[in-house]
A and B are shown apart, each in its own frame.
Chain A
Amino acid sequence: MKATETRERVVVRMAGDSGDGMQLAGSRFTDATAVFGNDLATLPDFPAEIRAPAGTVAGVSAFQIHFASRDILTPGDAPDVLVAMNPAALKANLGLMRRGATILVNEDAFSVRAVQKAGYKESPLEDGTLEGFTVKRVPMSSLTTRAVEGVDGASSRDAQKAKNLFALGLLSWLYDRPTEVTEKWVRAKFKGPVMEANLAAFRAGWSFGETSEMIDVQVKVARNTEVAPGTYRNLNGTEATALGLVAASIKSGLPLVFGAYPITPASDLLHALSRRQDLGVRTIQAEDEIAAASMALGAAFGGALGVTCTSGPGLDLKTETIGLAVMLELPMLIIDVQRAGPSTGMPTKTEQSDLLQALYGRHGESPLPVLASSSPGQSFEMVYEAVRIAVTYRTPVILLSDLFVANSSEPWKIPAASSLPAINPRFRTSPPGEDPFLPYARDDRLARPWAIPGTPGLAHRIGGLEKADGTGAISYDGPNHARMTELREAKVAGIEVPDVEVLGEVDADLLVLGWGSSYGTIRAGARRVRERGGRVATAHLHHLNPMPANLGEVLRSYERVLVPEMNSGQLAHELRAKYLVPVESYAKVQGQPLLPSEMENEIWQRLS
């Protein structure tokens, strides 16, 4: 019997060549962990190249998971364990590790050639590079080969490809994960000798952990018992967004027409939705970003839920159509999965730098609501809310997500369909008595009627030219243009948005205000500070336009306000301009998410 040790939380990082299947191993470990009942958060970190030269640092793909017996908010700071499948993986990730951490290496991969390809002069296993770390040298390739040898019909290539399952098996033993979840998945995913090879590799990894003297302690992380009752599933931000759109379509009765052009990291949403024909979802892979937006808007004119999705460079191209949607006052949703810019920037790295573009990046006075998703699971709620606002107020809405939210995963409490708020399209269906139909008449929310083709008596023409108030006829009249500008502005400004909630002591010395995907990090950093007696409050914005009505009052009630963002201070800029409050910006533009430890530091610096 080996010794066991119980920990409250663990951060594991798996790294290998982009062809090594690290994302797959990571997501399988995640599922087993979720089913086991830990709270968790994950972060995939992969290169832009599909297959960068094998064995180079540029081609390293990594997956990080943080799991715990209590509520956690982020994929963690420094990993406790790194699995490095080759020298390049070690080199690319060693900087993230703290001294004392455990490093499991695939010893077989540390040939002279591989070591040099990774940019090391000598093998880091021998030259003292890893001094201060607990290094476990596991011959993963050869052990996998030996395990797969017994499988009828499996080739040496199958064995080579199965070593990620060996690593997964080893980690599964090390952290006492249930094996059935993974084995069931392997059986469903593969067939014949490949399935057998993967099962053999997985079991060999598990057995290695159980029997090898090299691995001396099994780590237990108890179930998280402080969880609200309910049924849960694990999902990432993309999956949550897809489900939210499907939910909005079913609840509103509006057919979902989704136009998109492939772009990292937004394409996954197109992939997810294109599989949902069973729910009546129509996806169109458009010829370009402009067409994708235009198709969504054309569909909206026809009475559909028109949605388009993109990332930074694509949002640039969609701008013209979004401006038309502002003018037409039709419901439409634009999802921007932000990545590091400008231009092509770093397509596989995260950033929050499209905020000002979303708010202001159109010519003319063209206001529209802007919302942001703050966590993978919360993306469901946010996209649903974005649709509700678009339909209720007849307006294009931009929903800001980012690569971090889109690709990270966490357990998500599944809501009951009946508990979701109603979305009522309120189509104008009958001619309004003897009066002529006024396409630009307004209700008490300043929303105009949505009369769709096929409705007798309501035929009308709309377009990008300025309209006469009420009738919608073309108008070049100055005072009318001023009136219409005001109406469009007032409609968006009048959207009902929930008040911003302050967490922590109301009379704290510092308020940390964030938006979007930094939600978990800010809360985790502040929680650590509070646990050590620091007086800090936090608040988070999900609505960026309009902002919550109480925000000005909240900002003014703190002596110091810190605004952390993965950009150069765009929200800070906006808050200063809007509320004349000297908020302090903490800006990070490294393509990586904020970390709880750096939040903690930044907060302490301002408290002392």
Chain B
Amino acid sequence: MAATELTKADFQSDQETRWCPGCGDYAVLAAVQGFFPELGIPPERVVFVSGIGCAGRFAYYMDTYGMHGIHGRGPALATGLAAAREDLSIWVVTGDGDALSIGGNHLIHALRRNVPVKILLFNNQIYGLTKGQASPTSELGKVTKSTPFGSIDAPFNPISLALGAEATFVARTIDTDKQHLPMVLRAAAAHEGAALVEIYQNCPVFNDGAFDALRDKKRGEVNRIYLEHGEPIRNVTRDADGVLRIGGDGAPVIHDAHRADPSFAFELSRLSSSPDGPTPIGIFRDVARPVSGQELTHQLAQARAGADDSTLDAVLHAGDTWTIA
């Protein structure tokens, strides 16, 4: 099937989508289905793996191969799949609870190994499917069903976490940003190793408006600090002490996503601790590093290709043997 023949419809499954009205997941699904035809990968070579949570349903709505797994284990399932198959485009869809709480260990190790999977982290700062408990990205003091007196646990910054886990591609985007979201997905798809894309996603039922400072057209124009490689970062400067700041009158800063040292990307990730003010959006880091098993999978396939009964007989007879007539 040639790339040009593919359309959005080729990636739409016949399942009825069942997210709440107004959920940010709809926008992400539409963006993914819309941009996939341009990759030129036939749907049967694409696999969506997901965990549990609202985001987990995503796998059912793509007319590709898909596995709706267990809570937090998406990256581990995808790692096994990638180890078995070098010819697939593997995507993991996860949420902030799934990826950062119950599945935190799998997420960091998939990034550390640089497994060739693209991880879409839908961050709505709340547990949705279990009906409104605090998540690892919920802000301090947040009142939820499980934290009636306000959350006392400090939240993760997913971008900082991914960078600390040696991720080679780390980006942030927004569910409703119709230009930026596909642009980031495109870059993630082009990346050779593991890619983590944090998507700010509004939950209209349990955490409505969490990202209004960025999603809202007028406020967003002020607060979105777009990161573009090689371009000056708007409203970010480096002061006399060498510290990166929002605003200020220090030296302008040029974004460099390809810097091998992750500390610059980390500095950028620390510019905002929550999405209620000026926040960097875009690709924080995009560097090349050996991809887990990339060469190996190919070599192993070749080793296997020639193996037959005579190979097996030789293996079974290796070492000290003796024969009884």
Binding site for B on A (CB under 8 A): 31, 34-35, 37, 181, 227-234, 243, 246-247, 249-251, 253, 255, 257, 259, 277-282, 284, 286-288, 290-291, 294-304, 306, 320-321, 323-324, 328, 414-418, 453-465, 473-474
Kindly name the residue among A233, A291, A299, A300 whose own CB sees the greatest number of chain B CB atoms within 10 A.
Answer: A291
Q: B67 near A454 (CB under 8 angstroms)?
A: no
Contacts of B69 in A (CB 8 A): 294, 324, 463-464
Which stretch from B185-193, B216-224, B283-291, B313-321 is at the chain A interface?
Answer: B313-321
6 more A-B contacts (CB under 8 A) besides A232-B324, A328-B67?
Answer: A231-B324, A282-B296, A294-B79, A300-B80, A304-B85, A463-B60
Determine if B76 is an interface residue (Cβ-Cβ < 8 Å). Answer: yes
B68, B76, B108, B313: the one contacting A462 at CB < 8 Å is B68
Cross-chain contact A460 with B66 (CB below 8 angstroms): yes
> In the complex the two chains form, is A302's CB within 8 Å of B66's CB?
no
Query: Would you list the 8 A-B pairs with minimal beta carbon distance, nearest first?
Result: A463-B68, A298-B80, A280-B304, A295-B80, A294-B76, A461-B66, A304-B84, A298-B77
C-alpha gap A301/B301 in the complex (Å):
17
Chain B positions within 8 Å of A278 at CB level:
303
Q: CB-CB < 8 A to B70: which residues of A?
A: 294, 320-321, 323-324, 464
Asked whether, in the complex, the Cβ of B293 is within 8 Å of the Cβ of A233, the reply is no
Taking a contact as CB atoms under 8 Å apart, the answer to whether B13 and A291 are in contact is no
Q: Is the CB of A453 within 8 A of B65?
A: yes
Q: Does B154 contact A (CB under 8 A)?
A: no
CB pair A232–B312 under 8 Å, yes or no, is no
Looking across the interface, which residue of chain A has its beta carbon closest to that of B310? A417
B81: contacting residue among A227, A243, A301, A455, CB under 8 A: A301
Q: Would you give the shortest CB distance from B2 to chain A, in whole angstroms? A: 14
- B302 closest partner in A (C-beta): A280
**Which one of A181, A259, A300, A453 lies within 8 Å of B44 (CB-CB)?**
A453
Q: How far is the CB of A515 from chain B (nearest CB, A)?
A: 27
Q: Which residues of B contact A232 (CB under 8 A)?
A: 321-324
Q: Which residue of A lies closest to B311 (CB)?
A: A250
Interface presence of B205 (CB below 8 A): no
Q: Are A416 and B313 in contact (CB under 8 A)?
A: yes
> B5 at interface (Cβ–Cβ under 8 A)?
no
B105 x A243 contact (CB < 8 A):
no
Residue B78 interfacial (CB < 8 Å): yes
**CB nearest neighbor in B for A233:** B321
Contacts A247-B316, A453-B47, A463-B60 given; does A291 touch B300 at CB 8 Å: no
**Are A243 and B85 in contact, CB atoms less than 8 angstroms apart?**
no
Q: A306-B80, A458-B44 are in contact. Are A243 and B300 (CB under 8 A)?
A: no
For A288, the chain B residues whose CB sits under 8 A away are 105
CA distance A243 to B316 in the complex (A): 7
**Most chain B beta-carbon neighbours within 10 Å: one of A257, A300, A461:** A461
Q: Chain A residue with minimal CB distance to B108?
A: A287
CB distance from B295 to the nearest CB of A (A): 11
CB distance from A484 to the nearest CB of B (A): 16
**Closest CB-CB distance, A477 to chain B, in whole Å?**
15
Closest to A436 in B: B14
Report B-chain residues with C-beta under 8 Å of the C-beta of A298. 49, 67, 76-84
Report whether B84 and A291 are in contact in the complex, using a CB–CB cutoff of 8 Å. no
Query: Is the CB of B43 closer than 8 A to any CB of chain A?
Result: yes
- Judged by a CB distance under 8 angstroms, whether B261 is at the interface is no
Give every chain B residue within 8 A of A320 (Cβ-Cβ): 70, 73
B105 near A247 with CB under 8 A, answer no
**Contact A474 to B316, CB < 8 A, known contacts A296-B80, A298-B67:** no
Residues of A within 8 Å of B63, CB to CB, are: 459
Closest residue of B by beta carbon distance from A411: B322
Size category, B interface: 35 or more
Contacts A246-B315, A284-B79, A417-B309: A230 and B323 contacting too (C-beta < 8 A)? yes
What residues of A have a CB within 8 angstroms of the CB of B235 in the complex?
none
In the assembled complex, which residues on chain A have CB atoms less than 8 Å from the CB atom of B84? 255, 257, 282, 298-299, 302-304, 306
Q: Are B76 and A295 in contact (CB under 8 A)?
A: yes
> For residue A414, which residue of chain B has the nearest CB?
B316
Whole-angstrom CA separation of A440 from B59 in the bound complex: 18
| A–B complex contacts, Cβ < 8 Å, 6 sampled | A247-B315, A291-B76, A299-B80, A454-B85, A454-B87, A464-B52
- A415 and B315 CA atoms in complex are apart in Å by 11
Residue of B nearest to A465 (CB): B68
Is B83 a contact of A299 with CB atoms below 8 Å? yes
Check B325 for interface membership: any CB of A closer than 8 A: yes
Chain A neighbourhood of B68, CB < 8 A: 461-465
Nearest chain A CB to B103 CB, angstrom units: 9
Closest-by-CB residue of A relative to B303 is A280
A321 CB contacts on chain B under 8 angstroms: 70, 73
Tell me which residues across on chain B come within 8 A of A299, comparing CB atoms. Answer: 80-81, 83-84
Other-chain contact of A250, B59, B60, B307 (Cβ < 8 Å): B307
Instruction: Please tell me if the beta carbons of B324 and A227 are within 8 angstroms of each other in the complex.
Output: yes
Q: Is B106 an interface residue (CB 8 A)?
A: yes
Instruction: Check B303 against A277 for contact (C-beta < 8 Å).
Output: yes
What A residues does B76 contact at CB under 8 A? 286-287, 290-291, 294-295, 298
Q: Mark B241-264, 1 if CB is under 8 A from A, else 0.
A: 000000000000000000000000
Q: Name the B residues within 8 Å of A294 (CB-CB).
A: 69-70, 73, 76-77, 79-80, 106
Q: CA separation between A470 and B70, bound complex, in Å?
A: 22
A contact residues around B81 at 8 Å (CB)? 298-299, 301-302, 453
| Bound complex: CA A178 to CA B33 (Å) | 71
Interface flag for B299 (CB, 8 Å): yes
Determine how close the nearest CB of chain A comes to the CB of B118; give it in whole angstroms.
15
Find the A residue at minimum CB distance from B306: A280
Partner of A255, one of B15, B46, B52, B300: B300
In the assembly, what is the distance between CA of A26 and CA of B188, in Å? Answer: 55
A584 to B204, CA, bound (A): 63
Within 8 A of A (CB), among B7-36: 13, 15
Docked Cα-Cα span, A288 to B311, in Å, equals 33
- CB-CB < 8 A to B85: which residues of A? 302-304, 453-454
Cα of A294 to Cα of B323 in the assembled complex, Å: 42
Q: Which residues of B contact A229 (CB under 8 A)?
A: 324-325
B78-130 residues at the A interface, CB under 8 angstroms: 78-85, 87-88, 105-106, 108-109
Note all chain A residues with C-beta closer than 8 A to B315: 243, 246-247, 279
B262 CB to nearest A CB, Å: 20
Does B42 lie at the interface of the complex (its beta carbon under 8 Å from any beta carbon of A)?
yes
Quick one: closest B residue to A287, CB to CB? B109
With a cutoff of 8 Å between Cβ atoms, the chain A residues found around residue B293 in the complex are: 282
**Assembly CA distance A37 to B73 (angstroms):** 51
Interface pair A291/B109, CB less than 8 Å apart? yes
Partner of B312, one of A250, A306, A324: A250
From A247, A282, A306, A461, contact of B300 by CB (8 A) = A282
Q: Once the chains bind, are A37 and B80 in contact (CB under 8 Å)?
A: no
State the Cβ distance, A321 to closest chain B Cβ, in Å.
7
The verdict on B45 contacting chain A, using a C-beta distance below 8 Å, is: yes
- Closest chain A residue, CB of each to CB of B309: A417
B83, A414: Cβ atoms under 8 Å? no
Residues of A contacting B317 in the complex (Cβ-Cβ under 8 angstroms): 231, 233, 414
Which A residue's beta carbon lies closest to that of B312? A417
Report if A231-B322 is in contact (Cβ < 8 Å); known contacts: A257-B84, A457-B44.
yes
Nearest CB in chain B to that of A242: its residue: B315
A284 surroundings in chain B (CB, below 8 A):
79-80, 83
A595–B80 alpha-carbon span in the complex (Å): 42
Residue B64, interface by CB 8 Å: yes
Cα(A230)–Cα(B83), bound, Å: 38
Q: Are B44 and A454 in contact (CB under 8 A)?
A: yes
A259 touching B80 by the CB < 8 A rule?
yes
- B44 and A250 within 8 A (CB): no
B residues in contact with A243, CB < 8 Å? 315-316
**Candidates B65, B109, B313, B320; contact of A461 at CB < 8 Å:** B65
Contacts of B48 in A (CB 8 A): 461
> Smallest CB–CB gap between A94 and chain B, Å?
34
* Cross-chain contact A291 with B301 (CB below 8 angstroms): no
Q: Which residue of A lies closest to B292 (CB)?
A: A284
